[in-house]
Amino acid sequence: MTDIQHAKGVEMCPLSMTLNGQAFGPIDMPSGLPMIDFLYEYAGLTGSRLGCGQGSATRAW
């Protein structure tokens, strides 16, 4: 469990998902947790980076 899961007074929601072929869940997640925090805290994918948080995402390929 991470510190996020221990926060008092935070509404929790169940989540199950498959990410890069690996199943996660069912686990209780804090309501409103940004996906970037899930990737870091639960999936261990620390290579993801948060952009400016404005506008739409674009792909460069």
Q: What is the pLDDT of residues 4-58, one digit of tens each?
A: 545 578 899 999 999 989 998 898 988 888 888 888 888 888 887 887 766 665 5
Please give the pLDDT value at position 49: 80
Please give the pLDDT value at position 42: 85
17 backbone dihedrals φ, ψ, rounded to 5°:
-160, 160
Asked if pLDDT for residue 59 goes beyond 80, the answer is: no
Q: Per this entry, what is the length of the chain?
A: 61
pTM over 0.85? The answer is no
Please give the pLDDT value at position 57: 56
